Amino acid sequence: MKTKYLYLIMAGLLTLTSCMDDWDKPNTDDYSVTSRTAIGEPTTTIDSLKREYSSTFKQNNSFVKIEEDIILEGVILANDKGGNLYQTLVLGQVMNDTTIGTFIDPCTCIQLAIKNTCLYPYFKIGQMVRVNLNGLYIGCYSKMPKIGQPYFTSSGNLRLGPMLMELCKTNIQLIGKPADYKDMVRPLLLTASDEFFTKASSYQNYSNVPAFVTIEGGVFADADDKAILAPYELHDAGYGVDRVLKVGNTEMTVRTSTQNDVSFLVMPKKPVRLTGILSYYDGWQLQLRSVDDMEVME
């Protein structure tokens, strides 16, 4: 009798484990979180959208609801796989040039914020997505152009945050496969002498951020070959840590959320090559996408 009960208990545990595994594993079959039918052909581009709604994007915290079918395309340049870009994708615009052919412009980008803590299985780097903005909001949060929905912060302030995950079913369509564009996901290379950091056309300009860049030759101000990027005890109200990176005569912030893979990267004394998403708040700010985005230069 005891043996019979033991078998029943073991069978129950195996069934529970199987259910938990099925629950935990993201279902990416048949593009299950996005539209399974066409949402329409593109009617605008990221660049055109920024120009048309420039008065909104120029403000610090503002947004407007789109109430017509405005459809744009973009290729995913960054997702949340490393844990540092929370509920965030970054889309870059595909360009065609008669000389160099098709490429993704690393400085013609926009954030697509989606309320889910595990986006990368569904939205891989290199994946083309088509977004119908009807019912969504565009604007900026602290000067960062983005697509999303408004929400109230813990302080009671209304800000532009992520769109609901369920709206992906009606507003987002995947086009092709990530391999179609992955080889074109190439950052803009910036060095200490680059005019991008100082010229008027890029300084605090909504049209150039977010940008996908590699910054070469920067040195962390607090580097000692031991300290990590974002120890939890140093976090601010946004659960992130700001580190000063000196790139020639330019000082910028490397912003990292705590308790993710990127946060535990050790800051080396040697110059580094950092790849990530560049934005502008009170100054230039870079967010790494994954642990592979930091290289020590010899």
Range from 140-144, 158-162, 235-239 carrying the lowest mean pLDDT: 140-144
> pLDDT digit string (tens) for 31-57?
479 999 999 999 999 999 999 999 999
What per-residue confidence (pLDDT) applies to 203? Answer: 52
pLDDT by residue (tens digit) across 5-25? 444 444 454 444 444 444 445
pLDDT bracket for residue 99 (50, 70, 90): confident
What is the DSSP track for the chain? -HHHHHHHHHHHHHHHHHHHHHHHS---GGGTTS-SS--------HHHHHHHTHHHHTSSEEEEE--S--EEEEEEEE-STTSSSTTEEEEEEEEEETTTEEEEEEEEEEEEEEE-S--TTTS-TT-EEEEE-TT-EEEEETTEEEEEEEEE-TTS-EEEEPEEGGGHHHHEEEES-GGGTGGG--PEEE-TT-GGGT-TTTTT-GGG-SEEEEEEEEEETT--SS-BS--GGG--TTSEEEEEEEETTEEEEEEEESSSTGGG-B--SS-EEEEEEEEESSSEEEEESSGGGEEE--
**Average pLDDT estimate for 84-105:** 93
Per-residue confidence at 29, pLDDT binned at 50, 70, 90?
A: low
At residue 98, the pLDDT reads 82
What domains lie within the chain, and their CATH numbers? 29-184 (2.40.50), 188-296 (2.40.50)
Mean pLDDT along residues 201-210: 71
46 or 207: whose pLDDT is higher?
46
Mean pLDDT computed over every residue of the chain: 88
Q: pTM (2 decimals)?
A: 0.87
